[in-house]
Chain A
Amino acid sequence: EAGVTQFPSHSVIEKGQTVTLRCDPISGHDNLYWYRRVMGKEIKFLLHFVKESKQDESGMPNNRFLAERTGGTYSTLKVQPAELEDSGVYFCASSQGLGGAGSYNEQFFGPGTRLTVL
């Protein structure tokens, strides 16, 4: 079974440009999460999709970030326009269920996209 894949693995762009990150979850996983780790800091939650719907987008930093998951399969995260502080590693994760006290429904992570904004 293929794991979570992310594209590109690295992206270097200039401030003000647009970048689109893609995540392909594990097939059959309804739940898709985006996280990011800014250099030296904690990994922070950005948003959570259940199928094509945004379940929770409380972690999105501002309106320069737009996430979509059309058709409930892959997801894209667009940053427009990119700023210097957006540099970091963006992780995508997927899980089959939501999890609860009795079944934790592990989140499987992709390898991340390292974004560098110059």
Chain B
Amino acid sequence: AQKITQTQPGMFVQEKEAVTLDCTYDTSDPSYGLFWYKQPSSGEMIFLIYQGSYDQQNATEGRYSLNFQKARKSANLVISASQLGDSAMYFCAMREFSGSARQLTFGSGTQLTVLP
């Protein structure tokens, strides 16, 4: 069964510094995708970045990058040059692609606070 683990319930980072949010996963499916979502206090879930299991390079989207280490089954999110608006809950999620199921499995989330 697929599983996502986020071991950091809360993280603090100074504005303009970089921060890494940890995510490890477990799956027996060779074809899967990893997602990061941001949930600000307003409640909506905002898609940030995606990494496919067959992607050769780490995904990047602006200030977000994903440190994908397939052998270690980790997909850490790196936010560079943190901004106050980055304060939010961050969820790591996974989808398996081999079967018919397409739902996301989420981790418990990391609450990031950016300090001025």
Contacts and interface: CB of A to CB of B under 8 A. Distances in A.
Interface string A79-98: 00000000001010101001
Interface in A65-118: 89, 91, 93, 95, 98-102, 104, 106-112, 114
Interface in B98-116: 100-109
Contacts, number: 75
Q: Which of B44, B100, B102, B109 has the most CB of A within 10 A?
A: B102
Interface in A32-73: 33, 35, 41-45, 48, 55-56, 58-59
A110 B47 CA distance: 11
A109 B103 CA distance: 13
Interface residues of A, number: 31
A111 B102 contact: no
B37 A109 contact: yes
Given A33-B103, A41-B108, A101 B43 contact: no
Contacts of B46: 109
B102 A99 contact: yes
16 contacts: A33-B103, A35-B104, A44-B106, A48-B103, A56-B102, A58-B101, A59-B103, A99-B97, A99-B102, A101-B97, A102-B52, A104-B50, A104-B52, A106-B50, A107-B104, A111-B44
Interface of A: 31, 33, 35, 41-45, 48, 55-56, 58-59, 89, 91, 93, 95, 98-102, 104, 106-112, 114
Given A42-B107, A42-B109, A104-B35, 7 more contacts: A43-B104, A56-B100, A98-B102, A99-B102, A101-B31, A104-B52, A108-B47
